[in-house]
């Protein structure tokens, strides 16, 4: 009888519950529940509705019972950097901000007044992003210091949800590294840095690795969902789970974890905290098995998702790709990493204004708008490949595109042409797959990361795109 493992994969634009089991060495996935997610604007603040998200987590767990497929364990992954502060009675203090909120403006300078930017990077290996947790906490210290004084526990969002399920507080390593408060050598919190910044050190729990068992479901949760199961840590930063599912056993190649963000990089055995890496804005995020994800954040499909919403979702993503391809000769390009695209009131107008200011032709139709975004993303990928090869001193012959963006065939072809590399696209549910693989490795179902990645290649369709001639083969 099959043993099922449940991945709860929460993204900034949607969540999904995926069951996985092994049959004759191959991993089989089944989606049991899916829901939408987004930040809410409350009095000018961009916030997460954690109560609703937890209800959706429970709703999906109930679907497993209804399907008669009770998981032996489950794990939750989410996006990075966002967190909660809990008081002595485990109540959330203040609002739970989303990373696109503007309250962190100027907080980088406040942090750098204590520790210079160069020194901070050399110490953490994490790229400067205005929304990193280190800057979010400085915003709390500057504006609502009483919250830090009342705080007794700091938890990243997946850790918080797993606390609600089990009653046990555990902090997972990979997601913690995105805070810019973890030492890449000790792989634990940099408490000296916290002390320098005036953050209370005692609220941060020791970091645990994927595979750590958090506990079993609380009795009241068992009553709601109709069963009990173990809760196990996965690589709870969703990109860390996705990179686990790269279909290359030894992890040799450049990857793009393609979704709301495009996270593009390679794996390193140790963090590269050189000044050259800082200047190029590369980060060293913790990965599974203490591997480092040496990568750059690129704005990603957030731009397409945003304009699609502005078009009232009249077009599917496949239709948008087709329209972009029909406008392939449209000449304008934007810098997809420009801050104007982080959280504009209108993405459509932000792209048009960028083109106006840079003296380029302004896109008017949906096809032209999509062409600008897709072509600009491919150009950014090309620049990032060149940076990776220069910084690592090695050449790569292939790029693995994993995650939902791997389904964007037009962008995959553009990427192959722009970079001159073979592109391998898939699996699309890489994050959920990595989540499940971590649970299976904990139970001894899969021996190690190399075997887990071989299992991915053997279990899922991988499409190949060759540069220039658009050869498209299925593996």
Residues designated as active site: 238
Give the bridge partners for 307, in sequence order: none
Give, in degrees to the nearest 5, the angle at Cα 230 between 227 and 234.
Answer: 130
User: Can you name the residues that pair with 15 across neighbouring β-strands?
Assistant: 10, 35
Q: Residue 277: CA atoms inside 13 Å, Cβ hemisphere, count?
A: 26
Nearest in space to 97 (alpha carbons), one of 50, 133, 48, 153: 48
- Do residues 2 and 26 touch, judged by C-beta distance below 8 A? no
Count how many Cα atoms sit within 13 Å of the Cα of residue 50 in the half-sphere of its side chain: 22
Q: Name which of 432, 447, 59, 473 is nearest 244 in CA terms.
A: 432
Q: What is the rounded CA–CA span in Å between residue 96 and residue 273? A: 31
| Residues linked to residue 213 through DSSP beta bridges, in sequence order | 232
Q: E-strand spans in 337-456?
A: 398-402, 422-425
Write the DSSP symbol of residue 203.
G
Cα(369)–Cα(349) distance, integer angstroms: 10
Closest CA to 86 of 176, 172, 154: 154
Per-residue tokens: 208: 């645990």
CA distance 17 to 59: 10
CB 136 within 8 A of CB 98: no
C-alpha–C-alpha distance, residues 475 and 143, integer Å: 54
Measuring CA to CA, which residue among 380, 422, 382 is closest to residue 400?
A: 422
Strands in 4-10's sheet, in edge-to-edge order, are 26-36, 14-23, 4-10, 71-77, 230-232, 213-216
């Amino acid at each position: 009888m099959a043993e099922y493992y449940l991945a709860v994969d929460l993204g900034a634009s949607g969540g999904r519950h995926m069951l996985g089991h092994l049959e004759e060495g191959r991993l089989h996935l089944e989606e049991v529940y899916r829901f939408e997610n987004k930040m809410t604007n409350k009095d000018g603040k961009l916030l997460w509705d954690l109560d609703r998200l937890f209800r959706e987590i429970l709703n999906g767990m109930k679907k497993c019972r209804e399907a008669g497929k009770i998981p032996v364990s489950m794990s939750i992954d989410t996006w990075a950097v966002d967190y909660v502060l809990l008081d002595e009675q485990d109540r959330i203090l203040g609002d739970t901000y989303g990373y696109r909120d503007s309250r962190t403006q100027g907080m980088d300078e406040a942090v750098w007044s204590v520790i210079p930017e160069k020194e901070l990077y050399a110490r953490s290996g994490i790229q400067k992003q205005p929304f990193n947790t280190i800057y979010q906490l400085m915003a709390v210290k500057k504006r609502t210091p009483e919250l830090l004084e009342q705080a007794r526990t700091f938890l990243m969002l997946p850790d918080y949800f797993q606390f609600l399920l089990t009653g046990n507080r555990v902090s997972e390593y990979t997601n913690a590294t995105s805070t810019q408060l973890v030492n890449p050598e000790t792989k634990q919190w940099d408490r000296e840095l916290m002390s320098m910044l005036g953050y209370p050190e005692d609220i941060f729990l020791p970091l645990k690795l994927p595979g750590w068992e958090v506990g079993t479901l609380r009795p009241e949760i068992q009553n709601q969902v109709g069963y009990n199961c173990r809760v196990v840590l996965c690589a709870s930063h969703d990109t860390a789970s996705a990179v686990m599912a790269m279909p290359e056993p030894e992890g040799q190649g450049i990857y793009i974890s393609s979704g709301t963000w495009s996270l593009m990089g390679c794996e390193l055995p140790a963090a590269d905290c050189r000044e050259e890496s800082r200047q190029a804005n590369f980060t060293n995020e913790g990965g599974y098995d203490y591997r480092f994800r040496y990568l750059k954040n690129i704005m990603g499909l957030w731009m397409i998702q945003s304009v699609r919403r502005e078009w009232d979702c009249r077009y599917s993503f496949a239709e948008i790709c087709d329209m972009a391809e029909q406008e392939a000769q449209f000449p304008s390009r934007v810098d997809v990493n420009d801050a104007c695209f982080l959280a504009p009131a209108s993405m459509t107008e932000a792209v048009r204004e960028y083109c106006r200011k840079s003296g380029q032709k302004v896109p008017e139709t949906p096809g032209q708008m999509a062409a600008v975004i897709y072509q600009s993303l491919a150009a950014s990928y090309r620049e990032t490949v060149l940076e990776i090869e220069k910084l690592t001193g090695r050449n790569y012959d292939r790029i693995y595109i994993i995650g939902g963006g791997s389904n964007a065939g037009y962008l995959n072809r553009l990427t192959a042409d722009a970079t001159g590399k073979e592109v391998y696209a898939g699996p699309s549910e890489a994050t959920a797959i990595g989540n499940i693989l971590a649970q299976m490795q904990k139970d001894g179902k899969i021996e190690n990361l190399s075997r887990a990645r071989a299992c991915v290649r053997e279990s899922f369709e991988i499409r190949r795109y060759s540069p220039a001639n658009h050869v498209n083969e299925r593996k």
